[in-house]
Structure formats: structure tokens, C-alpha cells
Amino acid sequence: MNEAVVLKAPDIDFDTPQLKRHRNVRALKDKVATVSIGAGGVFVIVAVTLIFFYLLYEVMPLFESAKVEPVAEYTVPGKGKTKFLAMEEQAEIGIRIDDLGAVTFFYTENGSVHSQLNLPIPAGTTITSINEGSAGSQTLALGFSNGSGLVVQHQYKITYPNDVRLITPQLVYPYGEEPVTLATTGSAITNIAVRDNEELLMLAGATDSGDIFGSLFSKEEDFLTEEITLEEQDITMPQGRGKLVSLLLSPDVRWLFTTNEAGELRMYDLRDRANPRLNTEVNVTEETKVVAMRFLLGDISLLIADDQGQVSQWFPVRNEQNEFSLEKVRQFKTDGAKINQIGIEERRKGFFIVSEDGQLGLYNSTAEREALRENLLDKSIRYATLAPRANYILMETEDGQLHFWDVHNEHPDVSWSALWAEVWYENYQEPEYVWQSSAATNDFEPKYSLMPLSFGTLKAAFYAMLIATPLAICGALYTAHFMSPALRRKVKPVIELMEALPTVILGFLAGLFFAPFMEANLPGVFTVLMLIPIAIILFGFAWANLPASIRLRIDDGWEPLLLVPVIILVGWFSFAISPSVEIAMFDGDMRFWLENTAGIDFDQRNALVVGAAMGFAVIPTIFSITEDAVFGVPKHLTYGSLALGATPWQTMVRVVLPTASPGIFSAVMIGLGRAVGETMIVLMATGNTPIMDINIFEGMRTLAANIAVEMPESEVGSSHYRILFLAAFVLFIFTFMVNTLAEFVRQRLRTKYSVI
């Protein structure tokens, strides 16, 4: 009986509410996944690019110019002509001294008077000159119209009653209120200078006629009361030569600088107290008139301003014979209006000028940078002063108004020339590239030249590449092309393992094992370098001449294993004969011989050690990429070449190498990127001295190592901090570009292979 089997679709309802809900949930999940993975992916990529923008964000402020904004304007507090104007640390209270001897302390924000004092000036006289000692010392020398002078200090006491800062200004007379007679002739002192240090106090003054007078006191401290008594010493001052614009004393009271309107700058040597000697006499200007001269912070450099808006910087330079001469170091130009005054910063090698046409200029001497030049006021600015932190400026215009302005001048000490050009630093004989970011003293001139560091980086990378490139490329060529597959499977993981070795271990071995070893066996190192290639060739030739019965026992492609004992033997031999070589050729001590006979300086941790250690780190990088590129060369090309009768080596040189060369290029590039950025090896295997010398036996400091050394100590937001960020940024950009180039080349190559 035949019954038709009727196949019927199972009676399933796909649209039950349950299934519908299920489908909706699945659709929703899909949507959620899409959105969240999209968001997550984009977030990660954005977060990674953040590095670039953050570095840039930290670096940018370095290149911003200064900004000033008005805060307040008021009439000059007090009477008479302003002789001196200054502010205390917080820029809350200002001090003004007028020619009548009145001292007015006032609030800078509105000009209201805090207190007024009178200086103990002799009756019937006026103040004819005021000069400040070292910047920030708050010590003033006053010159009076009767030929005498007085030392006074303005001090500020800070207390916190009820947690509110209260500043109390006061005047102190460290050496009494009795003026010292300077000009025995009794004529007015129109220029005065003061030096006050641990052992000495010196006052020097000049009169209108140009006569120079000086009083020198030695200080003696009473052991019990710690009271200081002054004892006058004899000192003869040089003959005057006409009216002066300015008179300055160096901190050690050895040099006396004078300048007159005609621009004759003289430097006198006062070391011989009885016989002052004229050391240098130069003309600082040609047709213009000198209007002011001041010391820069540190009291080494002289800044000389003229009536054509030019400022030049001079300082004494010592030559090999230990003789000093004044040299012009650099010059700054403004728009040509007469400069009324130069002022200096108390924390940096910076200065400012104010001029006849209401112009303010902010400069930095080391960086040779004009941070700001702006016509702020349409009136002549007669006198101006910067707050100690250089964040406010007070300017007095000719109409008797005081202008209180806010100054934003964070990084004037950084400029293209400061970072990359030779700079003539104070106490240096000539312009040089120097990196020295900090020192113990306050008036230190930071030296931010990135040249020695970049040079060190490239030097380390160069020696590393010198060692790594031939080894890695040759090794990769052999591994990819000649080596038997069985050995290749063993060798590749070993080289990959080499890549994974932490660089801190390589650096440690380089610094603590290889560097002393090399120092002790210097001839051995060079013998190894010479003997190994020779030994390999000789062994190869000898092998080729062995009877076939022995030769054929080893398959082609296993040669490296044969060579391993040869290399070990040659290495051992080289170091074994190293002492004998040292005696035979280098008088028993190669290091000594290098330094004395060959004149080559030798550091234990030198570029050769770094090159070897970093070469070791770079070899696997170059090796793997080259090997991939060579191995990837389509086999039919090789077979074709071999079939046409080319030897394996000819095939390698004429067919494989040209095809794979872009890959090898990118391998070298990536290796270079790694060598440039490597930190730990360089940190541990060099002395980290930032010198510029190509000598293989000397150390270096690289950008990366410098960051590791100095970053933890650097003050957040300071120029130094930002320059270290700049160094990181430079490294980032450099490696990124190099890698991108390499990657690009590699991608092109891959396309090419797929076409062939």
C-alpha cells in the first residue's frame, strides 16, 4: 500500500511575541556592540594620539612671546624727582626714593601710601645718585651733593596674623647712619657703586668733573656678639677722564668699569690696591651717545644702552695666558628711540628697556631673544622697575604718572639660537654648544643647547648601527637564503629571544662587565675584530679543500654551526694574546699609550661599549625584518636565476638583493629608530657627559638618557621642564617619521611581491 508521504513544513510560528522579543534583543545587542566597539576603538585611537598633542601642548609655551596688561595707573606718591623705584617679592608694596631723601612705601595696586620715612641725609644736601648692589640684594648706595655716600637696605618682613599675609617694609642701615665721605673735594657724587660681600664693603663714586673716589672697608666679625666692625683700607682709584655715565664694580672688587657719553668703556684692574691699572679701553659706540650701563644678573655682563635704541652686552673674557679683555658679546636693536633706562631681572639673565617714545622691551641675553617690544604708552617712560619674580612692572612716565602692569614672560630664556646655535656664555672664551641645565647658585646662566645631546644621540646610534647593520643584514641574508630549513627553525627563535632581552640587562652587562673587560683587554677587542673575518675566510677555504668524504657529511646550509667553534677559538686566542700585544705594541698599557702617544682621550664607558651593547639590541630588529623581506622574495625568481646557471651568490646579489632592498632599507630605518630612542643602555654604559666629540673612546649623553636623568628633578612648568618635553617631542617625531617611512616602503614592497 502506497501512501504518499506528504512533507510539510513544520508548523513553527516565527512571530510569536517571545521570538519577536528575542529578535529585538539580539538586534539591540548588535547595535550596542557596534556603538560601544566603535566608541571604544575611537577612544583608544584618540587616547594614543593624545601623546602627540600633549607633548606639543607642553612645548608650545616655550615659543610664546611675552604679554603685558595694564593693572593700575596713579600719580607718583611722594614729592620730588624719582631717584629709585623697586618692588618687593610679592609685588604688593613698592618703594620710591626721591632726590630730597624721602622714602615712600606704597601699595602698587592703587598707589596709596603705606608709610613714609626720611633718610638721614646731611642737612642741606640732596641725593644726587643711587645705585643698587647685586640684583636682589636690596642694598642701595646713595651719593649726596656734599660728596659723601651712605649704604641703606630696604627690607620686608612677612607675618601672617589671622592667616592673612602682612608685609611690613623697613629701612636698615647695616653700617650706621653716618655717611662716608667719598669726594674729598666736597663736590656732588653723580655716580655711585657699591659692593658688599662677606669680607669687604666698597663704595666708589664719581663727581660731575669725572674724578673717581673710592672707600674700601674690610669686615671683622666679633666672635661673641657677631657684630661687624668696618676697618678702612687704603685704595687708590684711577685718574678721572671726564664726566661719566656710569660706574660699576665687579663682585670681587677687582674690576672697575666706567663709561662716558662718548662711549668710551674702560675696565680698570684694582687688584693692586695702590696702583690701579687700565686693562681695556674700547669704544662701544660710533656716533651714538651712551645713556646707561648696568650689570646683568650675576654681575659679570655689562649692558650698555645708547640714544639710538641699541643695547650691547660686554663681558671680560679670559684667554689662555690668563689675561682678561672686554669683549662685545651680542647686540640688541630696538626701533631707534632713545633708551631712558635699562633694568634687569633678578632671577634670569633677562633685562628690559624703556624709551623716550613710551616703548617697553623685554629681552633675554643668553637666548638673544626679544620676548616683547611694544609701544605701551604714548609718553616717554622715565623710570621703570620689574618685580623680583618678573611678573609685574612699574613705569613712571614724564607726566608724573605711575603705570602698574602685569607681565607674563614665562620662557624668555629659550629660543632657536639658544637651543641649536653656538652661544657665548659668561666666563667662556668663545661661543660654544653647552648643555648644563642647573647649578647651585642663583645667578647661574642655564645652558640649554640641545646640540651636544643630539650629537650624542646620533653618535651612539651611529656606532650601534656600525656594529649591528653588517652583522644583522649578512646574518639575515644567510638565514633566509642559504640556511637549511631545519637550522633556520632553530635560529629564528634564538634571534627573536635576543630582541626580547630587556635593555636594562644589556646596559648592566655593558657597564659592569664589558666596559672594564674592554679596558683591560683593549688590544684583544681589536684583534678579535680583525681576526674573525680572516679566520672565517681561511676556514671556508680550508673546508672547500677537504676531501669530499668529510665535506659531504655536513649538508649545505649548516656552515654557521661549523663556524661557531672557530669563532670561539679565535675569540679566546685574541684575548689570550691581548697582554702580549699590549706589551709588544703599546708599551704594556694601551690605554696609557692612547692618551699619551696617540693623544686620544679614553673613558672606560665609551662609545665603543655603547655601540656594542646597543648594536646587540638593534641586531634582532634589523635581522627579523631583513630576513622577512629576503625570504619573501618569490621563489621562482631564485629558481629561474639558478636554472640559468648563476651561482647561489650571484643569484643573491643580482636577483634577491635588488628585489628585497626596500625591505632592507626599512629594516635599517626601524633599527635606527630603536637606537636613537634607547635609554637604559646609554644611561648605564656611558658616563653621561654631554660632550661633542666623535672619538670612539669617549662617552656621550643622549636626548633619551638626559630625560631620564634630569626629568625627575626638574621643576614643573619651568623652562627646563619644557625643554625636556621638547627633547621627548623631538625623539617622538624623529622615530615616528623614520618608522612611517620604513612602514610605507615595506607596504610598497609587499604589493610588489604580490604582483611578481
Window 625-684: residues binding another protein (CB under 8 A): 647-650, 652-653, 670, 673-674, 676-680, 683-684
Interface with another protein in residues 371-430 (CB under 8 A): none
Tell me how far apart the alpha carbons of residues 388 and 386 are, in angstroms, rounded to a whole number. Answer: 6
Place of cell 697582554: 579
**Cβ 91 vs Cβ 153: under 8 Å:** no
Q: And the C-alpha cell for 432?
A: 660654544
Q: Which is nearer to another protein, 149 or 677 (CB)?
A: 677
Query: Which one, 332 or 616, has the nearer CB to another protein?
Result: 616
C-alpha–C-alpha distance, residues 418 and 413, integer Å: 8
To the nearest whole angstrom, how small is the minimum distance from the Cβ of residue 650 to another protein?
A: 6
Among 71, 282, 536, 554, binds another protein (CB under 8 A): 536
Shortest CB 33 distance to another protein, Å = 4
Number of chain positions touching another protein (CB under 8 A):
119
For residue 656, which amino acid is it? Answer: V
Q: How many CB atoms lie within 10 A of CB 6?
A: 5
- Write the DSSP assignment of 682-738 as a string of letters: HHHHS---------TTS----HHHHHHHHGGGSPTTSHHHHHHHHHHHHHHHHHHHH
Q: Restricting to residues 601-630, name those near another protein by CB under 8 A.
A: 616, 619, 623
Q: What are phi and psi of 448, to 5 degrees?
A: -110, 45
Cβ-based nearer residue to another protein, 103 or 684? 684
Binders of another protein among 468-487, rule CB under 8 A?
A: 470-475, 477-479, 482-483
Which string of x and - marks every residue 486-525 that binds another protein (by CB under 8 A)?
-----x-xxxxxx-xxxxxx-xxx-xxx------x-----
Residue with smaller CB distance to another protein, 171 or 509 = 509
Q: CA distances (Å), 476 to each of 488, 532, 672, in order?
A: 10, 19, 17
Report the distance separating Cα 235 and Cα 216, nearest Å: 7
Interaction with another protein in 538-597: which residues (CB under 8 A)? Answer: 539-541, 544-545, 547-548, 559-561, 563-564, 566-568, 571, 579-580, 582-583, 587-589, 592
Measured from the CB atom, is 6 or 716 closer to another protein? 716
Residue 220 vs 589, nearer CB to another protein = 589
- Smallest gap from Cβ 584 to another protein, in A, equals 10
Binding residue for another protein, selected from 555, 713, 743, 748, defined by CB under 8 A: 743
Q: Is 226 exposed, middle or buried (0-12, 13-18, 19+ CB in 10 A)?
A: exposed
Q: Closest approach of Cβ 694 to another protein, in Å? A: 23
Q: Least distance to another protein from the beta carbon of 743, Å?
A: 5
Q: Which residue from 54, 173, 420, 639 is in contact with another protein, where contact means CB under 8 A?
A: 54
**Angle (CA) 6 10 16, round 5°:** 155
Looking at residues 244 to 263 of the shown chain, list those that interact with another protein (rule: CB under 8 A): none
Q: How far is the CB of 590 from another protein (least distance, A)?
A: 10
Minimum distance of another protein from residue 689's CB (angstroms): 15
Residue 675 φ/ψ region, left for φ over 0, alpha for ψ in the -120 to 50 degree band, beta for the rest:
alpha
CA 732 and chain centroid, separation: 17
Stretch that binds another protein, among 158-166, 207-215, 399-407, 724-732 (CB under 8 A): 724-732
Q: What letter does residue 370 receive in the DSSP assignment?
A: E
Give, as ranges, the residues between 264 and 303 that touch another protein (CB under 8 A). Answer: none
Of residues 681-700, which lie at the interface with another protein (CB under 8 A)?
A: 683-684
Q: Which stretch binds another protein (CB under 8 A): 130-138, 162-170, 433-441, 735-743?
A: 735-743
Question: Pick from 16, 34, 209, 597: which binds another protein (CB under 8 A)?
Answer: 34
Instruction: Return the HEC string of 286-324.
Output: CCCCEEEEEECCCCCCEEEEECCCEEEEEEEEECCCCCE
- Dist. CA 458–CA 734, nearest whole Å: 12
Nearest residue (CB) to another protein, 176 versus 502: 502
Give 113's strand partners. Answer: 106
Closer by beta carbon to another protein, 281 or else 587:
587
Q: How far is the CB of 492 from another protein (least distance, A)?
A: 9
* Nearest-10 crossing angle of helices 451-477, 657-677: 140
Touching another protein, residues 152-191 (CB under 8 A): none
| Residue (502 or 658) nearer to another protein, CB | 502
Residue 237 carries which side chain, given as an amino acid letter? Answer: M
Q: Which DSSP string corresponds to 548-591? A: HHHHTTSPTT-HHHHHHHHHHHHHHHHHHHHHHHHHHHHTT-HH
CB nearer to another protein: pick between 128 and 714: 714
Compare residues 249 and 477 and give the one whose CB is closer to another protein. Answer: 477
Asked whether 290 and 304 are in contact (CB, 8 A), the reply is yes
439 scored as a contact of another protein (CB under 8 A): no
Tell me whether residue 203 or residue 528 sits nearer to another protein (CB atom): 528
* Nearest approach, Cβ of residue 471 and another protein (Å): 5
